[in-house]
Amino acid sequence: MNIQSGAPADAAGPVAAPNLASELAAPTVSRAYRCQCGRPVFLRNSQCLACGTPLGYVIDRLGVVPLAPVRGEAESKGEGEGDAEAKIDGEGAGASEGECEGESQDAEPDTFTVFGNPDGKRYRRCANLLTAASCNWMVPAPREGDDPSFNTDGLVPGYCLSCSVTRTIPDLSLERNGELWRKLEHAKRRLISQLLALGLPVVGRRADPENGLAFDFLGNMPGAPHVMTGHEHGVITLNAEEAEDAVRERIRAEMREPYRTLLGHFRHEIGHYYWDLLVQPTPWLDEFRALFGDERADYTAALQRHYEQGPPPDWPNRFVSSYASMHPWEDWAETWAHYLHMADTTDTAMSFGVDATNVELASDLFTTEDLWQPEHPGATKFLDFLNGWVLLTNVLNELSRSMGQPDYYPFVLPRAAVGKLQFIHCVVTQQRDTTLSAAAAPDVPLPPQTGPAASAPGPASVAAPAPAPAPAPAQSQAQCQQQSSPQS
Ligand SMILES: [Zn+2]
Ligand SMILES: [Zn+2]
Ligand SMILES: [Zn+2]
């Protein structure tokens, strides 16, 4: 493995590997981030361990960047822009507001710019930096003269985009839940950073009460029904016990699944969300039905059949997983999750200089005949990406076996999945083109997360475990009630 080294990154510019997309034909961005001192830093870092420079995830840069404190900010509080900041704090940061504010003044200044860009946009730490969620994302700090689109509309005041879309957290009065919440948020931040890089819309319910996204992390309560992981009308529910390794591993074994992770859950459920958003109300729907089947098939009956009779015997030739054979919606969500796995892993590999061009081939590669649209202008590039993935996972699986670990990618992609993956790739890239052209005017590839007319100040749901009932658009029925334990 060759980790990129050399001169410190130009801190004013995106800290990204050059020509990644062209080298790789992978759809997203670099996962290798660097401090201003040149050392590699990682997605969850909030400070460089080598030189002490503060770090944070900045959406405008789609990555973790070194930060420079804005000196004198604390002293000027209470006048001018300080008013705005005080208002933001007072509006809804809730119980954690006081302690975060107090500690952050001791620990570090309130406001930052990206290192090397002192006149650039200003950011503050997400209010969850110091909670169990330990969030290292940055929140825009608006000031006079800033780009009008550069505001916090739609965010829970004081909180970053990722934390703002969490509507319910586990009950923190139970000690173990802090750790579970941290793992959940960590996995969700990786998910959301990828969605942003792909140009997919990430809009919370404050900005879009009808189609916005919300996450409920719920614990099982005595006497209450078992919390089911699933998606409905933009609300993704995860049973918080999935964050407990021993519990999740037990369920994985009982369900005979080869792979079960928090990130996998998130990637699957967000697939349902984007189906509602990007496929169901669009011309993609007919082609979806041709490839995945008719989603109007009775979901409840399909679910019951799946758990009573199991998958069809020939599922490995037709689907990415046995669960995908249950219903066209689940086939979509499973295939979507694989697409995100493949894109992120390939990007990460390439970001660190790992490529699979010298790999001895242990399996057949896919050909244009396997594609959905072999004539598509991007077809060859997509095929390269897919075959690069096959080569890469051959190596990664062998590496895992060398350590006695389960296979890194414990799946065999059937040829029938290739067309579906290309279809998903086309849906994603079309959306990305739309997003990027909409954001072309500002100098940042900012997804449309700032909807018009943010809703009235409400309670900071991040700090309030009691969920408000979601307004439910009546367009689609409940979907994806994924079993978390075998049906008794
Ligand atoms: Zn450093
Ligand atoms: Zn946050
Ligand atoms: Zn599902």
3-state secondary structure 116-127: CCCCCCEEEECC
Which DSSP symbol is given to 73? T
CA 299 to chain centroid, in Å, comes to 26
What values do phi and psi take at 345, rounded to 5?
-65, -40
CA of 115 to the centre of ligand 2 (A): 20
Q: Which two tokens stand for residue 232?
A: 């409905």
Q: Of the ligands numbered here, which is closest to the C-alpha atom of 50?
A: 1
Instruction: Please list all protein residues whose beta carbon sits less than 5 angstroms from ligand 3, which is an ion.
Output: 330, 333, 480
How many CB atoms are located within 10 Å of the residue 409 CB? 20
CA of 392 to the centre of ligand 2 (A): 33
CA of 338 to the centre of ligand 2 (A): 26
Residues 6+ positions from 153 with CB-CB distance below 8 Å: 207, 450, 451, 452, 453, 454
Cβ contact 308:302 at 8 Å: no
Average pLDDT over residues 431-443: 74
Res. 466: pLDDT tops 80:
no
- Quick one: CA torsion of 426, 431, 437, 441, rounded to 10 degrees? -150
Angle between helices 176-197 and 262-274 (to 10 degrees): 50
Quote the CA–CA distance of 175 and 192 in Å, as a whole number: 27
For residue 347, give the nearest of 37, 43, 109 by alpha carbon.
43
Listed range (15-29, 76-90, 185-199) with the worst mean pLDDT: 76-90
To which residue do tokens 């109007």 refer? 296
Q: Of the ligands numbered here, which is closest to the C-alpha atom of 139?
A: 2
Res. 367: pLDDT tops 60:
yes
CA of 73 to the centre of ligand 3 (A): 47
- Quick one: CA torsion of 391, 373, 331, 196, rounded to 10 degrees? 70
Listed range (6-10, 175-179, 326-330) with the worst mean pLDDT: 6-10
pTM assigned to the model: 0.80
Q: Of the ligands numbered here, which is closest to the C-alpha atom of 182?
A: 2
CA of 479 to the centre of ligand 3 (A): 7
Res. 321: pLDDT tops 60:
yes
CA of 333 to the centre of ligand 3 (A): 6
Q: Which two tokens stand for residue 298?
A: 């009775």
Q: Are strands 214-218 and 166-168 parallel, antiparallel or unpaired?
A: parallel
What is the pLDDT at residue 98?
31
CA of 10 to the centre of ligand 1 (A): 13
What are the angstrom distances between the C-alpha of 95 and each of 21, 92, 127, 458? 44, 9, 11, 14
Res. 270: pLDDT tops 60:
yes
What is the pLDDT at residue 204?
94
CA 401 to chain centroid, in Å, comes to 28
CA of 331 to the centre of ligand 3 (A): 8
Q: Of the ligands numbered here, which is closest to the C-alpha atom of 123?
A: 2
CA 158 to chain centroid, in Å, comes to 20
CA of 28 to the centre of ligand 2 (A): 22
CA of 8 to the centre of ligand 1 (A): 10
CA of 245 to the centre of ligand 2 (A): 23
